[in-house]
Structure 1
Amino acid sequence: MKTVPIADGEGTIPLRTSINKVLGVFRHHCGEIASVHQPKGKRSHTRYLICDSCGTDQCGGKPYQAKIKANTYHSIEALQAAENAVLTVNTDNETLSDELTEETTTQQAESLSDDKPTDTAPHAVSTANQGSDNETSDLTENHSELSPLPTPNDIPVQASSDAVSTVNSIPTPVEPKQNAQTQAPKTMRIGIFAVIGGAIGALLAVAA
């Protein structure tokens, strides 16, 4: 697209050969920058566009005409600056929206974390232990109130009939018999003592 500087201002506008002067520029729906013109005669209250890609656009609908009038800029540079400002605002809004969304998500997560039920397991264990300790204490106190157990010496021993029968059935130990070899030396010693005794007696008789 060929451009020319504005005669009485800053910036440029598209170069046109139309008999109707260029009023400004407008971003056409095709994406190109179109020049805005005003016809003469009975349609002088309307605007038409000349686009390098689409040609002349003479749409006369009121909504479209209102859009053209509201978005017509005096130069190409002014149009681009306005679009860049809008783009910056949109980007900032998107960034802010993302930050708000992230912050909201974080707050919701923290809220859910705070709403979680308290972990009662340690308390339950502590309570159970306390209950067990109390029961043990109660049992100890109850046992201390009972009469003392009898000592082993105080408990009578009752032998069963089977035990008595077992005792009676134990054989009496039998002394071992002396064999002939053991008795023989004893007999010989007795005989020798008898001979010696007789000899002594005889000597006593002779001496008398």
Structure 2
Amino acid sequence: MSTPHPPRRKDAAQNRAGILVAAVTVLADDPHASIDTIAKAAGLSRRAFYGHFEDRGALITAVIAEGAERFNAIAQSVTDDDPRSALAHLARGLWGEAQHVHAAVAVALNDKLARLTAQALAPVRVRLLEICERGFERDVLRRDIPPAVTVRLVEEAARSVITHLDPAQTRGHHLAERAVLSAAGLGWQQIDDLIIEGEKA
């Protein structure tokens, strides 16, 4: 007969999860929020916080890792055969996730954390490269530069939208899709058609 885990261990896991949830919520309002503010939002003391995270940097790392899991899952769910539709679908899915925690995502995309975030989102980049290579081969995405360079342009376009535009002011304009598809070489009329198709799906 197996021995159940002590309640203390369960409470510790719940406290850690609570800190992560609180961090995303608090950072969405204030990207520079302190440990004390985050711990208070989680209903815990500063001491309890340090029982789970060494410092604020460790917490941010954990927030990025958890968010990356969701982003990577979205990338894997994109199975459209048409590279243009796949790219629109990917941009739509990632933006849909990012806009709920806009400021927290902006923190993750900060220049100081760029390398860490890039490593966590490696599966997204792999999927994006597959799409751009397929689009290059089929002559439906830009062919004036190599697919790997298109990937970088697409990433920077998406990053600019996430870090510099307020979702509340841009809702309904599909700016993430427009920025990504434009970077991939599509004209605005093609982009409009893809957005309309996506809304019907």
TM band (smaller chain): under 0.3
More helix, by proportion: 2
* Higher relative contact order (CA closer than 8 Å, sequence separation 6+): 2
